[in-house]
Structure 1
Amino acid sequence: MDTHLYIARIVGINANMKNEIPKYLLKDIATITAGQSPESKYYNTSGDGLPFFQGKADFGPLYPEIKNYCSQPTKIAEKDDILLSVRAPVGPTNLAPCKVCIGRGLTAIRPNSSICLKYLLYFFRYYEAQLQKSGTGTTFKAITQNVVKNIEVPVPDFTEQERIVSKIEELFSRLDASVAEFQTAKGRLKVYRQSVLKEAFLALPKESYLTLDSISDKIFDGPFGSNLKTSDYVESGVRVVRLENLKDGWFDDSKKSFISPEKYAQLSKHTIYPSDLIISTFISNSIKVCQMPKSIGNAINKADCVVIRLKEDVLPQFIMYYLMTKQLYNTLIHQVHGATRPRINTKQIKSMYVPNPKSCDQTGIVNKIQRSLSICDSIEQSIDTSLQRAEALRQSILKQAFEGKL
C-alpha cells in the first residue's frame, strides 16, 4: 500500500467543505511586540536577568530551550506569547516559556480574549511558508512589522476555534505515532549497520593490526587560520571539502563551497584525490568518514577534515568501513579533547590501529558489507520518503483546518 495513503487513512482527514471563515488583520486581534536586541555586554548564560531569545524559534518543541539570559532586557514577551521568527529564517514559531527578553529576530504576538492561543499558533505554522515568501533582503531574508501587522487571520467563533484545535491535535497525535514508528525503524537500521561492520572484521586476528600511518602514503589536514579565511570563499571555482560534506560512508554533495583558482594555487599541497578517504576530527556521536567521489574534481580539505591517502595495495573501502565501526569509536572517544565538541588530532588518526589488509581478502569483505548495507539503504530510503510524506500530510491538515475543510 502507498505510504501516503496509509498515513492518511490512519489520520482520517475529512475534506468536507464548511462555511467560509471571516478574516481579520492580526493587528486588530492581537498585541504585537517587535523584538529589540540589548547590548551584548548584558548577555550571559549564568541566569542573571530574564531568559533571552534572539532569533529562530524552532518548529518542533512547543517551548524553546532556555540557554541565554539578559540582565538589562529591552523588549519583553509574557508567558505563552507566540514567538515569531522574523529574520533568518522567516516564519518558525514557538511559545514563550515564561516572561522573556526578545531580540530583533523575534516578534511576540499575544492574542486578545476572542482568539484561542493554540488556534493562532497553529495558524502561524500553517502560514509559515507564505511568510517566508514575504521575506526580503540580500544577506538574509526578513519581514517588516508592517507585514506582520497586516497578516489576515481567519477567525471563526471561539467554540469553533477550540474544535479546530482539538481536531488538529487529534490528527497530529495519530500522525506522530506513525512518525515514531518510522524513527524507531531507522534506529534499528543503525544498530543493524553496526552489527554488519562488526561481523565483517570479527574474525581478523588482532595481533596482525597495524597503524593507519604504516599503510598510508600520506595523512594530512587542511589549511588553518589565516591560510583559508571566510573572505576567500567565492561563488564558483575549486571545491573545498567541509565537515558537512562528510557522512557515514558517503559524501554529501548538497552543500558546496569554493575558492578561486588563484587561492587554490597557494593551497595546492592540500589537494584531495578521488581515491582518498576523508575523516572528521569531530567524533561526538560517530566517526564521519567517506571516500572522495570522482565527480568532484580538484578540491582541498578544511582543517577539520583529515585526508588519508592509502598505499596502492590497500582498498580504500576496506579501511573506510573499519573506521566506521563502533569498536574503533569506543576506543577513540576516550582520547578526545574538548568538552562541547569532542575531537581528535592528526597524530591520533595516524596512530589508529586497523586490520592488516594483507592478512585478509579485502575485496571479499568489502563486497559482503556492501551487499548487506545496500539492503539497509533501500529500506532507509523508503522510510525517509514516508517521513517526508508525513510532514507533507501535517501541512495538509493545517491547510484544511484554516480553509474551513476540517
Structure 2
Amino acid sequence: MKTIKSLTEAEIAELPILPDGWSWVRLGESIEVLTDGSHFSPKSIGKGYPYITVKDIKNDQIDFDNCSKISEDDYNNLVKSGCKPYKGDVLFSKDGTVGKVSLVSFERDFVVLSSLAIIRPFTSINSSNSKFLFWVFKSSHFLNQALKSKKGVAIRRIILRDLKALIIPFPPLPEQRAIVSKIEQLFSELDNGIANLKLAQEQLKVYRQAVLKKAFEGELTKKWREQQTDLPNTQNLMEQIRREWEEATKASGKKTKAVKNLTEAELEELSLLPEGWGWVKLGRVVWSVKDGPHYSPKYEENGIPFISGGNVRPSGVDFSNVKYISKELHEELSKRCKPELNDILYTKGGTTGVARVNTYDFDFDVWVHVAVLKTIKSIYPFYLQHVLNSSHCYRQSQKYTHGVGNQDLGLTRMILITLPICSFSEQEVVVQEIETRLSVCDKIEQDIETNLEKAEALRQSILKKAFEGKLLNERELAEVRGAEDWEPAEVLLERIKAERVKNGKK
C-alpha cells in the first residue's frame, strides 16, 4: 500500500475539535486494505460462485438471491486478484450510486465488481472495529466527502486514491467498541419506533378500505335513509340513469353503444344492497370514456401540462413533475379527449385502477395511461371517485388489466366494472361520511410521515454525535477509558504505521 499523505496542522485546525485521545486521520492511514473488485465482468452462468455488484447491496445487506453467478475458474482468478471480501471487511460503493455500505459479517465464497471498494482493518494488531468503520461510512460527514470527490462525465465515481484520502475521526479502540454498542442500541429503539409507524400506515390503509366498504354497503347512511320519505326506489333510479345516459350520448352527437344491463345471474353473485340502491356497470353512468394519445408527443419547455398515470392519485393530481406540450397540439388532442372540471381521471396504464375527480379549472392533457370519464347528471363525481377506489372496484380493474410488459386497463373492459349506486342526494351524504372519516386518516398519515422524516434525521444526528465524541455519557466514557487496552489514537496509529512498514518489507 502506498504511503498516504497525512493531514497537516492547518487541515486539522479546520476540522471540529475531537475529544482527548482521538485523532483525525485519512481513511487509508487507519486500515490495512482498501482495494476494489474486478475491472472486467466475467461471463454470468446459471449456477456458480456469487459475483456481487452495487445493485446487490440492499438495505446494508448483500442480496445473494438475485446476484450473478460465475464459473469456478473465473472465481479463482478473481480471488488471486484480491477481489474476494472476507469476514470483517466493509464494502462501499464507489461507482454509480456512491455510498451504499455493507459489513461482511459471515464467511462465504464470493467476489465483487470494481464498483465496490473492499475496506479491511488491521486485524493483526486489532487496530479498528469493522462495525465502527461501517457506521463511519453511513455518516453524512463521510458520505458528503465521498460525493464531492466523484469524478467523471458519463459515469461519476470516486477513485481509490481519493477514497483513501477521505477524513475520518479515529478514537481509541475501546471507545470504538463502546460507540458501536451505543449506536446499535439507539438504532434498535429507533427501528422499533419506525416499524410501529409503518405498521400504523398499513393499518390506515386497511381502515380506509373498511370505511369505503361500509359506505358502499349503505351502512354509513343507514340512519339518514331512515329519516327520508321521498327517496326513489331501485326501479325508478335505474330508469333515471338509463334516460340520462341516452340524453347525454345523443347530445354529444356521437353514436355510442349502450353497455348491457347486468343479468339476473350476475346480480345473484353480487352482495345485497339497501332498499333504493342498485348495481350498475360503469358504462351505464358515464356517457364518454376516452384516453389520451397512444404515442409520445413532442414536449416543450413550457406550455400545456401533459400528465400520465403516475401523476394521478386519490388525493389529487401531481403537477410538480409533468411534461408540457404546445398549445396547438393541445387543441388538436382536445378534439378527441378533453379533461374538464368534475370529469373522472382514471388510470389505465402502469398503476391501473386509481380514480380522481378533476378539480382543476385549467387546461391540461392526458397520455394513453389515463382515461377521462364524463358522468351523467345522476352521478356525484366524488361518489364515483370513491367507489372506483374501493376494493370491490379496484379488484375488477386489476382483473380487466391485460398485458405483460405494458399492462393496460382497456376502455372497453373498464366500462364493465360493476358498482353500487344510490340516489344523488344519498351519494352526497355518502361522500360527506367518507371524507369526514378519511380526513382524520389524512391527518394521522401526515403525522406519521413527519415522524418518519424526524426518525431519519435523528439517525444522522446520532451518528454525528457519535463521531464528535458526544454520544457516550460520563459514566460510559470513564468505563471505557479504564479498559486495559485503552491507548490514545496517536499511539495506535504509530503501531499501524509500523505494521504497514513490516508488511511492506515482506
Q: Same fold (TM over 0.5)?
A: yes
Q: 1:292 matched to which residue of 2?
A: 358
Q: Give distance in 1, aligned partners of 2:160 and 2:299.
A: 34
Q: CA deviation at 1:264?
A: 4.5
Q: Give distance in 2, aligned partners of 1:144 and 1:238.
A: 44
Alpha-carbon deviations, 1:285-317, whole Å to 9, x = none? x9433233417x433323333332323442221
Q: 1:214 matched to which residue of 2?
A: 284
Q: Give distance in 1, aligned partners of 2:113 and 2:299.
A: 30
Matched, 1:31 2:34: yes
Q: 1:223 matched to which residue of 2?
A: 293
Change (3 A) 1:56 1:243: farther
Q: Could you tell me whether the CA contact under 8 Å between 2:350 and 2:369 is conserved in 1?
A: no
Change (3 A) 1:103 1:51: closer
Q: CA deviation at 1:376?
A: 1.0
Q: CA deviation at 1:323?
A: 1.2
Q: Give distance in 1, aligned partners of 2:328 and 2:151.
A: 34
Change (3 A) 1:261 1:283: closer
Q: Give distance in 2, aligned partners of 1:144 and 1:86.
A: 7
Q: CA deviation at 1:336?
A: 4.5
Q: CA deviation at 1:344?
A: 3.4
Q: 2:268 matched to which residue of 1?
A: none
Instruction: For 2:310, give the aligned amino acid.
Output: E
1:166 to 174, 181, 198: 181
Q: 1:78 matched to which residue of 2?
A: 85
Q: Could you tell me whether the CA contact under 8 Å between 1:281 and 1:304 is conserved in 2?
A: yes
Q: Give distance in 2, aligned partners of 1:384 and 1:261.
A: 38
Q: CA deviation at 1:174?
A: 1.0
Q: 1:89 matched to which residue of 2?
A: 97
Instruction: For 1:361, give the aligned amino acid.
Output: E
Q: Which moved more, 1:389-398 or 1:149-158?
A: 149-158
Q: CA deviation at 1:378?
A: 1.0
Q: 2:132 matched to which residue of 1?
A: 119
Q: Which moved more, 1:333-342 or 1:383-392?
A: 333-342
Q: Which runs of 5+ in 1 are unaligned?
A: 1-16
Alpha-carbon deviations, 1:1-23, whole Å to 9, x = none? xxxxxxxxxxxxxxxx8436213
Instruction: For 1:78, give the aligned amino acid.
Output: P
Q: Give distance in 2, aligned partners of 1:390 and 1:287.
A: 33
SS of 2:313's partner is: coil
Q: Which moved more, 1:85-94 or 1:314-323?
A: 85-94
Q: 1:244 matched to which residue of 2?
A: 310
Q: CA deviation at 1:33?
A: 0.6
Instruction: For 2:436, give the aligned amino acid.
Output: R
Instruction: For 1:311, give the aligned amino acid.
Output: I
Matched, 1:394 2:459: yes
Residues 123-202 of structure 1 aligned to structure 2 (within 5 Å): 123-126=136-139, 127-135=142-150, 142-202=157-217
1:349 to 406, 414, 417: 414
Q: Could you tell me whether the CA contact under 8 Å between 1:52 and 1:100 is conserved in 2?
A: yes
Q: 1:4 matched to which residue of 2?
A: none
Change (3 A) 1:63 1:293: farther
Q: Give distance in 2, aligned partners of 1:299 and 1:140.
A: 36
Q: 1:5 matched to which residue of 2?
A: none
Q: Could you tell me whether the CA contact under 8 Å between 1:282 and 1:344 is conserved in 2?
A: yes
Q: Give distance in 1, aligned partners of 2:455 and 2:409.
A: 38
Q: Could you tell me whether the CA contact under 8 Å between 1:245 and 1:253 is conserved in 2?
A: yes
Q: CA deviation at 1:70?
A: 4.5
Q: Give distance in 2, aligned partners of 1:77 and 1:274.
A: 61
Instruction: For 1:84, give the aligned amino acid.
Output: F
Q: Give distance in 1, aligned partners of 2:101 and 2:347.
A: 33
Q: Which moved more, 1:192-201 or 1:152-161?
A: 152-161
Identical-pair percentage: 27
Q: CA deviation at 1:190?
A: 1.6
Change (3 A) 1:380 1:337: same
Change (3 A) 1:92 1:373: same
Change (3 A) 1:240 1:145: farther
Q: Could you tell me whether the CA contact under 8 Å between 2:60 and 2:103 is conserved in 1?
A: no
Instruction: For 2:98, give the aligned amino acid.
Output: V
Q: Could you tell me whether the CA contact under 8 Å between 1:277 and 1:308 is conserved in 2?
A: yes
Q: Which moved more, 1:343-352 or 1:370-379?
A: 343-352
Q: Could you tell me whether the CA contact under 8 Å between 2:209 and 2:391 is conserved in 1?
A: yes
Q: Could you tell me whether the CA contact under 8 Å between 2:309 and 2:350 is conserved in 1?
A: no
Q: Give distance in 2, aligned partners of 1:101 and 1:364.
A: 63
SS of 2:168's partner is: strand
Residues 327-366 of structure 1 aligned to structure 2 (within 5 Å): 327-337=392-402, 344-356=409-421, 358=423, 361-366=426-431
Q: CA deviation at 1:104?
A: 5.7
Q: Could you tell me whether the CA contact under 8 Å between 2:56 and 2:64 is conserved in 1?
A: no
Instruction: For 2:28, give the aligned amino acid.
Output: K
Q: Which moved more, 1:19-28 or 1:152-161?
A: 19-28
Q: Which runs of 5+ in 2 are unaligned?
A: 1-17, 219-272, 472-506
Q: Could you tell me whether the CA contact under 8 Å between 2:62 and 2:102 is conserved in 1?
A: yes
